[in-house]
């Protein structure tokens, strides 16, 4: 199977489930940027329940700006805020310290383009998972791809209705199991078992 999917910011469990269970991955890089999608946000399990971490982007005078041209607004020091939120959420999880040194550097430097950051993030996470990360990129946009299974809709978290098997989460005694968070939630809670978990889920 060959899937077509978006490169997102610390992708959701549904994103990675699709990526783990396919033969080849093609990333959509010719689409227009749409606000309020997972292109520039992720969801984590904070001490207060679900928390959205959003990366601010620079406003463009272009009406239909391609996502690959979208620049990050680094004036708000979002990196420090996101890392502090991840620490508050996962410092006590079983595998946070194991992967901390791999993931922290992302938040210690500035990136210019949102899409470049997303690809770097996925390189790091797939390495932590022990997952092969070979892929291709689109060269033009097709509303209905002919030869690929289209998972681009997963970029819109509000429309993603995927339901997954529960696993142990840090604050589940307070807020119960929260479904389909960022891949980091599985990674920090399940460690190397995360790959096996993803292989056994269905979309």
46-73: pLDDT as tens digits = 999 999 999 999 988 888 899 999 999 9
pLDDT at 59: 87
Interior/surface letters 60-73, b for 16+ CB within 10 angstroms, e for the rest: eeeeebebbebbbe
The conformational region for residue 90 under phi > 0 = left, psi -120 to 50 = alpha, else beta, is: alpha
**3-class secondary structure per residue, 33-87:** CCCCCCCCEEEEEECCEEEEEECCECCCCCCCCEHHHCEECHHHCHHHHHHHHHH
**Residue 124, pLDDT above cutoff 90:** yes
149, containing H or E segment:
strand 149-150
In this prediction the pTM is 0.96
Instruction: pLDDT band for 186, please (50, 70, 90 cuts).
Output: very high
Q: Which residues of 33-59 are buried (b: 16+ CB within 10 A; e: fewer)?
A: beeebbbbbbbbbbeeeebebebebee
């Amino acid at each position: 199977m060959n899937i077509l999917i978006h490169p997102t910011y610390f992708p959701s469990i549904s994103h990675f489930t699709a990526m783990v269970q396919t033969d080849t991955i093609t990333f959509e890089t010719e689409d227009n940027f749409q606000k309020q999608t997972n292109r520039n946000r992720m969801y984590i399990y904070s001490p207060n329940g679900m928390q959205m971490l959003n990366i601010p982007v620079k406003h463009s005078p272009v009406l239909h700006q391609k996502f690959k041209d979208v620049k990050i607004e680094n004036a708000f020091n979002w990196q420090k805020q996101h890392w502090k939120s991840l620490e508050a959420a996962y410092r006590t999880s079983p595998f946070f310290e194991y992967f901390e040194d791999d993931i922290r550097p992302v938040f210690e430097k500035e990136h210019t383009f949102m899409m470049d950051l997303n690809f770097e993030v996925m390189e790091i996470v797939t390495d932590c998972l022990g997952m092969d990360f070979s892929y291709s990129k689109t060269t033009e946009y097709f509303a209905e791809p002919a030869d690929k299974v289209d998972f681009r809709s997963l970029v819109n978290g509000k429309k993603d209705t995927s339901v997954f098997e529960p696993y142990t989460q840090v604050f589940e005694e307070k807020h119960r199991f929260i479904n389909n968070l960022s891949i980091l939630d599985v990674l920090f809670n399940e460690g190397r078992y995360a790959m096996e978990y993803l292989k056994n889920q269905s979309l």
